[in-house]
Amino acid sequence: MKNKTVKALIMLLAVTTVSMTGSVVSFAAEDTAVEASTDDQAAADEVAALIDAIYVQERTETTDADCAAAKEAWDALTDAQKELVEGEEASPDYFGLDTGDASKDDPRNADEIGENELLVVSFGTSYNDSRAQDIKGIEDALEKAYPDWAVRRAFTAQIIINHVQARDNEVIDNMEQAMERAVSNGVKNLIIQPTHLMHGAEYDEMMEVVDAYRDKFESVAVAEPMLGPVGDDAAVINEDKQAVAKAVTDAALADAGYETMDAAAEDGTAFVLLGHGTAHTAKVTYSQMQTQMGELGYKNVFIGTVEGEPEDTSCEAIIEALKEAGYKKIVLRPLMVVAGDHASNDMAGAEEDSWKSMMEASGNFDSVEAQIAGLGRLEAVQQLYVAHTQAAMDEAAK
């Protein structure tokens, strides 16, 4: 009885206080808000840590479970909590960004390969639409051209493999997994077609794995990447570079509404083709592509790179070159196999450090437009890979 009386008095005092000042309700609401905010952030931080744990380039025994755990934890968050996810690499976009329908892609990881395998090796992309159009587009063209060979896929970027697996439950082999799959399936003749642009760092890493497995097969042949042999200096060009230069500029002109490059130039329009860039010695390839554009008479086509390597391909250098040439209308387009994160964000993004934003901020141009389309979807580029594969097959048959 005494306890009930004391409780009643406390409640009465609280009500009286509220009616006089409203402060009790205010304090209680603030405490609840702080507690809820702390709990929300803790839940978001847990997911961020799980994302950071799979944002790695090394596959481990726990990778599959880690990918599943990250997605399960993300799905358990409220919409408000998802907006709070932020880590070293984690953000709401990791699971939340809409990049298209993953079901349109094919991971090409089936067994029952047969004796002849054509393994298509790509860096990869987590952008579903681009993966289906650009990487799968190349694979489909190769499958059509060589129906007697089983076409399979490998990505060299484990970070991307983990992203796609965690978000979309699409499992893609890395190089080691793909080679082990070939061995366990009894493949005798293996042709490897890299979709890489050049003989750069990614190509070198791929070759390390290939060399470790060569003695597991009766024959192994590696086809040329897109732009063929690198060469010694900026003046070296070849038929591959010419074919790619024509393919990408034809597509860029068509999308921009011009019939010829001369017509675009007369209208004050320049095209900036944006590659990734690299510190590897193969970076001279970008300079060679600029030489190739000159050889074709495309004075209003400029080669840039996200990484600014070589130096004359940096955004600042390209802006200065465009300014000196007097072009006022700029069209950006990726010189990359896929139109993924680099194309959508580094090239065309709204952030102030994107190429589009920096060009607009320079005040030198009347318009800056972006065409987001990878090279892999262009038929001419697909047929170039088909030709490279045929050359590798011919070499292996000798």
Over 80: is that where the pLDDT of 28 sits?
no
Q: Averaged over 107-117, what is the pLDDT?
A: 97
Q: Averaged over 34-43, what is the pLDDT?
A: 83
pTM of the model: 0.89
Over 60: is that where the pLDDT of 239 sits?
yes
Q: Averaged over 103-121, what is the pLDDT?
A: 98
The pLDDT mean for the chain works out to 92
Q: What DSSP string describes 79-114?
A: HHHHTT---SS--THHHH-----GGG------S---
| In contact, 100 and 343? CB cutoff 8 Å | no
Over 50: is that where the pLDDT of 131 sits?
yes
- CA geometry: angle 92, 96, 99, nearest 5 deg: 130
Q: Averaged over 215-239, what is the pLDDT?
A: 94
Residue type, 371: Q
**Separation CA 273–CA 256 (nearest Å):** 14
If one counts every other C-beta atom within 10 angstroms of the C-beta of residue 234, the result is 16
**Separation CA 249–CA 226 (nearest Å):** 16
Q: What is the pLDDT of residues 166-180, one digit of tens each?
A: 999 999 999 999 999
Q: Averaged over 200-219, what is the pLDDT?
A: 96
CA distances, 349 to each of 57, 94, 125, 332, 376 (Å)? 25, 16, 17, 12, 21
* pLDDT confidence of residue 35: 60
Q: Averaged over 105-132, what is the pLDDT?
A: 97
Over 50: is that where the pLDDT of 339 sits?
yes
First to last CA, the chain: 102
- CA geometry: angle 288, 307, 331, nearest 5 deg: 70
Over 50: is that where the pLDDT of 12 sits?
no
- Please enumerate in sequence order all residues whose Cβ is within 8 A of that of 100, keeping only pairs 6 or more positions apart, or say none: 127, 128, 129, 130, 132
Give the side-chain half-sphere CA count within 13 A for 53.
Answer: 18
* pLDDT confidence of residue 231: 87
**Separation CA 225–CA 195 (nearest Å):** 6
**Separation CA 174–CA 97 (nearest Å):** 24
| Band of pLDDT at residue 116, cut at 50, 70 and 90 | very high
Residue type, 13: L
Over 80: is that where the pLDDT of 33 sits?
no
